[in-house]
Structures are given as structure tokens and as C-alpha cells.
Amino acid sequence: MSAPESSLPRAAIVQRAGEWDGQEQDRAVLSHDDRFLRRKVLTSDAGLRFLVDLAATTSLNAGDALLLADGRRIAVVPAVEELLEITGPDLPRLAWHIGNRHMPCQIEATRLVIQRDHVIRAMLEQLGAQLREVEEPFTPEGGAYGHGRTHSHAH
């Protein structure tokens, strides 16, 4: 039987990459979707169960850390995910079509990377994209109006 949430170590503070010394006591490997949270019980690589209890829903990025109330620091590490690599002669146009569908997209100089989706895959094939299934950490571009993801188009 699992310990109740009230007895778990609690993390209420996010330390952003570059704001801490990089000396973690443990790490939590999380998918892109799992790195968007407010309140959730997580398990670290070493098996520590802890409660993330943030004031607002937050997007965590590679290099961020969760600070436990007792001072221990849990580094956030992106998990390997099943993704779709997109290449081709007109990446800006392909990126526009992906963005127009509000798909998270990792933008690099020679490729785009998205989560696998059969509908978007078919659209990209019609547009002449070259596609390859890959498995790697997913770190898409963050929102323009806030740190990481945003909930709406409110300005």
C-alpha cells in the first residue's frame, strides 16, 4: 500500500535551468506531457515517491529541478519518446502547417520533430515531407507569451 500524499516529501518550488548549481540528489525522467503539471505524485529514478504541489500549472524543461521541502533537489530529464522526424526542402512551410494545427514541435536547423500522429503524418506526406520514426527525448519550442507551454491565446 502506498503512503498517503500528506506523508510524502513535497516539492513546491521549480528551479529553472541555470538558476541552480546542477548538483541534484536524484532525477525524474518525464515525457513531454508529464512535464506539464501542477499537482502530481512522481517517482524519481532512485525510487523516491514525492508530491509535486505547485501554485500554478507549470511546464518543466530539461535542466529544471524540483526543490523538495527538505532541500533535496530532483533534476528534470526529458524521457525518450516515440516521435516523427521531418525533413525536406521547405521546412518553414512544413513548420507553419504543424503550428497551424497547434502541435508541439521541436525546431532545429535541418529538421522538425513532433509526436507521432497518423493524421498529421498523412498531411505532411501530402506536402512532400520526408518522414522517419525516431525515439529520443522531445523538447519542443515553448510558448511565445510565457515560460514553456501556454493555455490559450489570451494576450
Name the band, by pLDDT with cuts 50, 70 and 90, for residue 141.
confident
pLDDT band at 152 (very low <50, low <70, confident <90, very high): very low
pLDDT of 137 reads 97
Please, which pLDDT band fits residue 146 given cuts at 50, 70 and 90? very low
CA distance 66 to 85: 30
Strands (E), the chain: 10-15, 26-30, 36-43, 49-59, 65-68, 73-78, 80-87, 106-107, 112-115, 130-137
Structural domains in the chain, CATH included, are: 7-78 (2.60.260.20), 80-137 (3.30.70.790)
Mean pLDDT calculated for residue range 85-94: 95
pLDDT in tens, 120-134: 999 999 999 999 999
Which CA distances in Å does 67 have to 9, 19, 20?
10, 12, 10
Task: Report the b/e string of 53-91 with b at 16+ CB within 10 A.
Answer: bbeeebbbbebbbbbbeeebbbbbbbeebebbbbeeeeb
Q: CA 8 to CA 126: how far, in whole Å?
A: 50
Check residue 154 and give its pLDDT: 44
pTM of the full predicted structure?
A: 0.83
Q: Average pLDDT in the 10-29 region?
A: 94
Question: What is the rounded average pLDDT of the residues 53-61?
Answer: 95
